[in-house]
Every structure is written in C-alpha cells, then in structure tokens.
Structure 1
Amino acid sequence: MGTSQSKIDLYAAIRRDHQEGMSQRALQRKHNVTWRTVRRALDGKWPEPRSNHRRRESRLDLYKPLIDAILRADLDAPAKQRHTAQRIFDRLVDEHDAHEISYPMVRVYVKDRRPQIRRDAGIGPQAMFVPQTHLPGAEAEVDFGEVSVILAGEMTRLYLFSLRLSYSGKAVHRVFATAGQEAFFEGHVHAFRVLGGVPRRHIRYDNLRAAVERVLGFYRGRKEADRWTAFRSHWGVEAFYCRPGIEGAHEKGGVEGQIGYFRRNHFVPVPEVASLTELNALVEQWDQDDEARRLRGRTRTVGEYFAGEQHLLKPLPTEPFETGRWFTPRVDRFSQINVRGNAYSVPVRFIGRQLRVLLHANELIVYDGRSVVTRHERLGGRHRSLLVLDHYLEALLRKPGAFPGSTALEQARSAGRFTPVHDKWWAAAKAAHGDAAGTRALIEVLLLGRHMDHEQVVAGLAAAYQAGALTADAVALEARKLAESDGDPVLPARSGAEARATEDEGPTASVTFLADWRLAHLPPDNRPLPSVAHYDQLLKRPGRTAGEKEGS
C-alpha cells in the first residue's frame, strides 16, 4: 500500500508552521495531533506506508473449495438438475459435518461465485454493448422520472414525462401530479404536437403499467392495456418494449440519461411555483433553451439536428383522441365526489345527484349533462380533499354557525382567497350585528364573487371597512364603482397618521351612499323652476264683482 497523501500534507503543514515560529504546543492545538506526530514531522520523517491487514478468516473458508467443485460439476449437469444454495448447504452439513456454517453464508457465496465460474468456463453471459446508428425521424424513447418541487409552499413529489428523439437528442418534457395512464397519454400528445410528428419506426418503452398489463413468457411478449392499444393505433405509434428490470435499462439509456441531465440542470435548486401550469410553462422554456446544447461527439447543436429531422416524422392525425377517463360518482351529503381516492367539492345543489367526471393528468372537470359544473386541479396521492368555499355558500347562509370551522374556509385562507381584509370586515360586522347576522352579511359579500373579480370585491371590502359600512350593499357598490372605473378607486385625502394606520388593510376607496351616487350620475337639469301662477285663476268665479266678493 502507498503512503497516505493526507498525512504527507499534514507533516508538510506542521513543518511550514514551525518555520514561521509556531511552538510545538500551538502546533498540536492547530492540527489536532499528539506531540509524537509533531516530533516526527519536525525530525524530518515521513509517514510510513500503511500496513497490509490480513483478511479476517471466515468459517466458510474451509468449505469454499468444496463449493467451487460442486459449481464446476454443475456446468455439465442438466439445467433443471443443478445445485441450489440450499442443496449445497445440506450436502456440506450431511457429508462434511459443516455444522459451524449457516445457510446465509453459503447463499451469499454461491450467488457471487456461480457467475464467475461460468465466465471462467467461457459459457457465462458477457457484458457487452453493440454501437447503434439511429436514422433521422425513426426512433424515440419514453420514460418517467421523479422530481421534487415546492408547489404552493409545500414540498411535493411530481413526475417528469420525457420523450427523446434518438437521432437528434431533442427531448420534450411535461410535469404531472401522477404517473398514471392519463399522464402517459397527455405526455405523448404534448410531445407529438411540439415535435410536429410521430417517429416512423418505433418508440422504446420499459414495462410501464400504463401500457403493459402483463409481461408474457416468450421474447418481448406483452399484453397491452386496451386503451393504450387504441391510443397507439390512433397516433400510429409502434411500441418496442425493453427487457424487464435493470437488464433492459441500457436499451433506452438515452432518455434515462436525459432525465438525469434535465433534473440536475433545471430542478437544482428546487423550483418554487404556485401551480403546475406555471411549472410546465418553465419546462417548455427549458426545452427550448436545451436546443442550444451540443451533445458529446456532435458537431452541431440539438436544435440544428432536429431541424433536419423534423420533416421526416410521420404527420399527426387530424382527429383528436380523448386522453382523460370518465367516472360517474354520486355527490355525498358533504357535497363532495370521490375520484381515485381523493375528495373534490361541487355546489351543494347537486347533493345526492350522480355527475359525470372527466379526469385528466392535472385537471378534473365535473359535468351535469353537457354543462360544466366546476373544475379542479387534480390531487396527487390518496385520502386528500380539495374544497371550494363558493360551493358551500348557500348552505352556510342557512347554517352560519358552521362557517368559522369549515374546512373549505381553511383551504380558502391557505390559497389566499380569504384575505385579512375579509377577516377584519367580518369581525366588525359580527360586533355590529351579532355573530349570525354578521356572518350572513359576509357570506352575501362572498356571493358577489360569482359576478365580480376577486380583486374588486376585496377592494370594496376594504373601503367599506374604513367607512364603517358593514353591509353587503355597500361592498357591492364600491366593487361596482371600481369595475366601472377600469382602474383603482379615487382615494380621499388622509393624514399621514391615518394612512399609516390603514396600510395593512388592503386597497381603500371612498364610500358613497346609493342615493347620492344616483344623483351624481344624472344629466344636468336646466329647466326653469316650476310656477303655480296659472292656478291662481281658479280662485276667481266668473260674473262676480269685487264688492260681491267682499260681501260674501
């Protein structure tokens, strides 16, 4: 064994510090060594080579020649009549009284030794690879990889779909909440549309459950999923299935290496996004940037090779293929539907009804007949819930006491839809009108969100809170004023102290009573003031003189 380089560096550093005037005790403290080490370094000695430690003997060493002999004899035995590790262990115990050894010791040794003996005999499998040439537009590879992302403030595990053209190295990626069949299909559709065509020869796959139901016994035999067969037929995809397990990984090594490169270069540091839509927009930009890469051994960039390959792809079909899956769940008494182990809310008027649900990789759409009831972002995992506060407002008007502790309210707070401005206005309304009436007033304000933008409603709440107007009508009026002005409301002049006191209350506006607002919007009235002079003639009766009037 050679000398330890770290010790050589240590001795050199001790001598250098000593030459600069450092004492031996200071050298011990600085380098955290004993006085003997310091003394040896200052005496001009170098560390001695490491001693070769004798390998620890094993109780199996005595029987290894016997095991090797049995394994060599198996080379000429019929394939189904060769020794197993258990049989070898039994023979050692019965024929050689090897009671001091154990079966796990024999099993580990046989597992490592049998392939070596077969290779030494020239009949074992040799690890070899044959270089391949990929024609333009002919082949591609597909695989999934896992990535972690801070999604809406929470560390989330997502799945990165990748389709890579074998000739140019052009890859298209898409991030999904799951790696199910919907994501598998939608990843293909997105990739084909970006590439502008489909590989002419085949696409290489491992045995994903989204495509393969069962691996058959004969060579590369597979029983495909029915929807996958229909999808392949629609897009004209020919599938090439790699060998199962680690043995087949090299057959699509291009896409596996591509996923590793993409993850290291674009997901480090961990991205922080608000939604999957935002993340996939970033992924599309990263794919375009990677076209400027030059792969090892290539003279041109990925984008330049792809430009010469694109026109050789098969054209896309004109008719669409529905990648989502249909479900028909029934709405439970909590106004929720359960799809793939997760709960999603729908408006309370559908309780007890059966609705149709179209499940995509990243989205869930609920239909009542042909009309869309609601849309949700698909949840990953199981036993999670996604509730929308707006779906429960009619029920909460009848049961305002259930509003403060509702799960939908907490999720709305977490998503930023229920702001501190809502909380302040709500507290003031409860103090003025009582808990039940104040909560109902807030729910009426939330109902405004069905007809107005969320930002306009929040601005109306802030203005009404400032003016002490704790009714839904006042909030609606201010929100409408903001909508009609197409901009920020006109703010009244306030002192610096007032401005500082209300900085955390959100956007503000002046409050106008409804009657004043209507008068301000009427056109100017230029008519003369009314007169009753014409009615004075009714006081005179015809044929009577002034004297008669006085005597009467």
Structure 2
Amino acid sequence: MKGVDTIARVRRAYFVQGKSIKQIERELHVARNTVRKITRSGETHFSYEREKQPLPRIGPWPAELNRLLLANEGKAARERLTLIRVFEELAGLGYEGSYDAVRRYARSWSQDRSANVASAFVPLSFAPGEAYQFDWSHEIVLLNGTTVTIKVAHVRLCHSRMMFVRAYPRETQEMVFDAHDRAFAFFKGACTRGIYDNMKTAVETIFVGKERAYNRRFLQMCGHHLVDPVACTPASGWEKGQVENQVGLVRERFFTPRLRFRSYDELNAWLLDKTIAYARAHRHPEFRDRTIWEVFEAERPSLVTYAGAFDGFHAVTASVSKTCLVRFDNNRYSVAAHAVGRPVEIRAYADCIELRQDGLVVGEHARSFGRDQTIYDPWHYVPVLARKPGAWRNGAPFKDWVMPASIEKIRRRLRSADDGDRQMVSILTAVLSDGLPAVETACAEAVREGVCSADIVLNILARQREPRSPATILNTPQALMRL
C-alpha cells in the first residue's frame, strides 16, 4: 500500500489544487484506481492484514505441538528445551515443515497464553497496619493562570483504603521524602511495609526476583519511619493495584474538569479536604457496613507510631562563582560572600534550598521551580559593599530590596545627598557587627530626631554599645543629716 506521505500528496493535489485524477496519476505515478480510492474514502492511511494465515505444513500438527510446548513450559527453567529442540522432537514424530513455521507458531502460542494468564488476578487481603502503596501520577491544572503539568504523590493504606494525595512540581527524591512525611503525619503513623514500583529515586539496581539495591537516602527515610520497603516486579502494576486504581479515581473525581488554583499550597489544601470528604462518604469495599473513614479510624491504633519528620533533603555539591552564586536545578541562588572560592553542599528540600559549607549554613532560600532565575539575599552582598560601595546604586541584588521601615526611611532621605550611597553602605555594614535589630533601632531614633546621616546612626550605635555607669549612692552620716 502507499505510504501516508503519498496519500497526503494525492489528497492535496485533488482537494486543494483541484487537479484531475488523470493529472495526479501522471505526475505522482499512482495508479488511477488508487487515486480514486484515496479521494473517495477520506482515509489518510491504509493497511493490509491477512485475515487468515495459512499453515500448510503445521496444519496436521497443532495438537502435538501444543502438547510439546505445554510440557516444556511446565519444566524448571534450566531444564526447558529450546525451540530448535522442540522442532527436532516434532520432526522425529514425522513433521516435514520448516523450523521457522514452528518458531512462528510457538511465538503466537506464547502470546495467547500470557494474555489469558495476565487477565486473571488473585484477590489480596491486608491486616490493619500491614502495608501501604505509593505511586506517582501526572495531572494538568491551571496554576495562577498558567497550564501546568504537576506530579501527584499517592499513598494508600491497603487495609482501610484511606488515601493521601499531594501535588508537587517535581518527582524528585526530596518530594518523595516530603510526601511520606506529610502522609504519615496525616495518618498519625506508618505501616510496617511499603510497596513501590522500581522508581529511580528509590531503587538503584534490580536483581533477580525481589532483590533490589535501594538508594541510600531512601533507606534512611524507611529506617526513620520503621518501614520495610518492597519493590514490585518490573511491568507488574497489579502488584500495587490499589494505588493504581486510586490514580484513576483521583483523576476522574478530583482533576476533572481541569482545576484552577493560585498556588500549590491552595491546591494541596483542597485535595486534602476532598480526600477526607470522599473517605467519609463512601463505603469500604470489604466492610460494607462502614465507611472508609470509619475503617481508617479503627486501623490507626495498629499503625507504627509516627516518628516525626525525616530530614528529607537531596544533597549535591556545587562550586560558588565570584558573584556569590550557586547553580542548582536550572536556577541560581546566592550565598554569603565569605563562601566564595570553596564548594558548598546544596540541601534541596521540597520547598526550600539550604546551602552549607563546613557544616555551617551560608544561605537559605525558598525554592524556585522556574528556569534561569536568580534568587538573591541582599544581605549576602553587604560585606562586598564595604569594599566596593559604588555597587550599591546598580547592584542587581539590591534592586527592589524591601528593608525594615526605619532603614528604608534613612535610605530615601540619603538619596539626595552627594555621598548618600557611601553613607548608606556604612549603615548597612554596621549590621555585620551590631546586628539588624540594633541598627534598626538606631535608624528609628535618628528619624525621630530628624537628623538622617550615617554619622548620627553610627554614633547612636556606639552609645548603645557602651555600658551604663552604675548610679552612685551616697551614704550621708547621721550627724550631717541633723544639721
């Protein structure tokens, strides 16, 4: 049959360019009957499949071949015959056909048999507090007016069918940790066993059977919550069928029609309310006389006591640029100026970024999930201003910097002074030695006195640092008091 590109050219020539069938036949070298079929059917592709595959040689032998294949399948893996040996066995019984015919028949037989077996399942039953299942799904919502594909973490208690759902911008390891912490805090406990698929944030290597090499940080999280992780067989979603069904249920009932929210916090608060309302309103599939919420309340005492939040960060090492910036997840974050020149450890949490050097925190920021964004903390650059005060006026970190009210008033009044920038830098530099509360108090006092200059503010700070002299108490002799 003709390819879809040829069919498209024929359709354009006939319907758009108005060419005749004869002209199309001549220009595109396509038979006239084929052109008629394309233009009259309205189809954009054609396929041909043989309705019945003739088996001239296999024809008398399917029963015997089925018997050999079935007997071979029942043997241990190390004792099974290869297909060439099965062919030789069949040839010994009088078969005169080719090996390829036996191979094609055996492949079709295996496919039909696996389909029949895969369609049947064994119902599972779980004791209270025995296991939970975890999975991710991708949903589309409108966040702050923008269409966004979000990642939704699903946790489901296998006994009570109670579910926990939370949306995230990423499917990374720190999001996995945060979802578990929030789920266990909501359930007020964890189960003794957690059932997962082979997600990369949890499983590093898949061995034979159920043996897995789990990620070190993931094992730390499981150890913290006293959970024994179990990974499913690859491509065997039915082993965690409850949470797989939950994905479809949540998508149908919660995310259809498309949701509209201003932020992730607002969306997650709504999802939590919806899951509780669903559990209170729907009957448990096994205990029909009780709701899911009632069975969940009865299961709570059997859960492992919630151990508190796990320090669920994902750590990477990064270098610091000369502009005091560290790059992580397609964005840049500022660090304290003294950290320049040596690498820092980035601890990425679900909602924030913590930067450490030699065990000390040199930067903290709310996490950004955009691209090519720069997140500054202007206080990180104040030590640099002490040496380069000229950077105050046009420095990128200081644009749109919202400072405390009293310092902001000093800043506005110094704009008209010739050396206002240098004076403002002197005031900000004092924060490094005296602290922000003291500088803010000194600026407030200077504003009240109506004199706004760096000298006045620094003088007030100096007076605040000086210890007050103790009051002198005079003991007057009794004789002098009678005079």
TM range (shorter): 0.5 to 0.7
Match of residue 173 from structure 2: 181
Pick aligned residue for 2:214 from 224, 232, 237: 224
Deviations 1:291-318 (A, max 9, x none): 4231474443322111111111223458
Given that residues 149 and 272 in structure 1 are in contact (C-alpha distance below 8 angstroms), is that contact kept between their aligned partners in structure 2? no
SS of aligned partner of 1:193: helix
User: Aligned to 1:240, which of 218, 230, 250?
Assistant: 230
Q: Provide the C-alpha distance between the structure 2 equivalents of 1:278 and 1:120, rounded to a whole number of angstroms.
A: 49
SS of structure 2 residue aligned to 1:227:
helix
Separation in structure 2 between the aligned mates of residue 68 and residue 376 of structure 1, nearest angstrom = 74
Letter in 1 for 2:120: M
Matches within 5 A, 1:77-156: 79-81=82-84, 117-118=109-110, 125-148=117-140, 156=148
Give 1:342 deviation, angstroms: 4.1
Opposite residue 162 of structure 1, the aligned amino acid is H
1:67 and 1:294, CA in 2 relative to 1: closer, same or farther beyond 3 A? farther
User: Displacement, 1:80?
Assistant: 4.7
Map Cα deviations across residues 423-470 of structure 1 (whole Å, 9 max, x no partner).
Answer: 99999976x457xx5666777898899837xxxx9xxxxxxxxxxxxx
Distance (Å, rounded) in 1 between the aligned partners of 2:199 and 2:422: 52
Counterpart contact for 1:213–1:222, Cα < 8 Å: yes
1:197 positional shift = 2.1
Secondary structure of 1:64's match?
coil
Q: Give the aligned partner of residue 213 of structure 1.
A: 204
Amino acid at match of 2:181: V
User: What amino acid maps onto 1:164 in structure 2?
Assistant: R
Change (3 A) 1:433 1:146: farther
Q: Which residue identity is paired with 1:350? A: A
Match of 1:513 in 2: 450
Deviation at 1:478, TM superposition (A): 9.0
Q: Give the structure 1 partner of residue 239 of structure 2.
A: 251
Residue 212 of structure 1, CA deviation: 1.0
Aligned positions of 1:142-541 closer than 5 A: 142-148=134-140, 156-200=148-192, 202-216=193-207, 218-245=208-235, 248-263=236-251, 265-266=253-254, 268-273=258-263, 280-295=268-283, 297=285, 298-317=288-307, 321-339=310-328, 342-367=331-356, 369=358, 371-380=360-369, 384-395=373-384, 407-408=396-397, 432-433=416-417, 451=436, 476-477=443-444, 513-514=450-451
Q: Whole-Å Cα distance in 2 between the matches of residues 137 and 397 of structure 1? A: 60
Question: Could you say what secondary structure the match of 2:332 adopts?
Answer: strand
Q: How far apart in 2 are the matches of 1:336 and 1:214?
A: 35
SS at match of 1:300: coil
C-alpha separation between the residues in 1 aligned to 2:181 and 2:52? 60
Is contact 1:177–1:379 with CA below 8 Å preserved after alignment? Answer: no
Deviation at 1:353, TM superposition (A): 4.1
1:163-210 deviations in Å (ceiling 9; x for gaps): 11122221223444432222222322332232222224x222111112
Paired letter, 1:336: L
Superposition TM-score, scaled by structure 1 size: 0.53
Aligned equivalents of 1:355 and 1:122: distance in 2? 53
CA shift for structure 1 position 513: 2.2
Residue 405 of structure 1 deviates from its aligned partner by 6.3
Contact 1:136 1:168 in 2 (8 A): yes
Give the 3 Å change call, closer, same or farther, for CA 64–361 of structure 1 in structure 2.
same
Structure 1 pair 60–123 and aligned structure 2 pair: CA distance change class (3 A):
closer
| Alpha-carbon distance in structure 2 between the residues aligned to 1:440 and 1:254 | 66
Is there any run of 5+ residues in structure 1 with no aligned partner, and where?
A: 1-52, 84-94, 96-109, 458-472, 482-511, 516-552
Q: 1:118, 1:124 within 8 Å by CA — same for their partners in 2?
A: no
Kept after mapping to 2: 8 A contact 1:159/1:179: yes
| Alignment deviations for residues 131-177 of structure 1 (CA, whole Å, 9 cap, x no partner) | 33333222211112234566677655443222111222212234444
- What is the identity, as a one-letter code, of the residue corresponding to 1:305? V
| Structure 2 CA distance for partners of 1:233 and 1:451, relative to 1, 3 Å | closer
Q: Contact 2:337 / 2:383 at 8 angstroms: preserved in 1?
A: yes
Give identity over the alignment, percent: 24
Distance 1:60 1:370, change over 3 A: closer
Provide the rounded CA distance (Å) in 1 between the counterparts of 2:188 and 2:47.
Answer: 63
Secondary structure of 2:189's aligned partner:
coil
Give distance in 2, aligned partners of 1:513 and 1:424: 11
- Gap change, CA 1:62 and 1:367, over 3 Å in 2: closer
Kindly tell me the number of residue pairs found equivalent between the two proteins.
Answer: 371
Greater mean deviation of Cα atoms: 167-176 or 150-159 = 150-159
* In 1: Cα distance, 2:84 partner to 2:446 partner: 86
Specify whether residues 169 and 447 from structure 1 end up closer, same or farther in structure 2 by C-alpha distance, changes over 3 A only: farther
Residue type at the aligned position of 1:64: Q
Whether the 8 Å CA contact 2:335–2:380 is kept in 1: the answer is yes
How far apart are residue 122 of structure 1 and its match? 9.8
CA RMSD of aligned residues (A): 5.0
* Structure 1 residues 391 and 254, CA gap change in structure 2 (3 angstroms): same
1:372–1:153: structure 2 CA closer, same or farther, 3 Å change rule?
farther
Change (3 A) 1:385 1:193: same
- Are the structure 2 counterparts of residues 286 and 58 from structure 1 closer, same or farther at C-alpha, using a change threshold of 3 Å? closer
Decide which structure has the larger Cα Rg and report it: 1
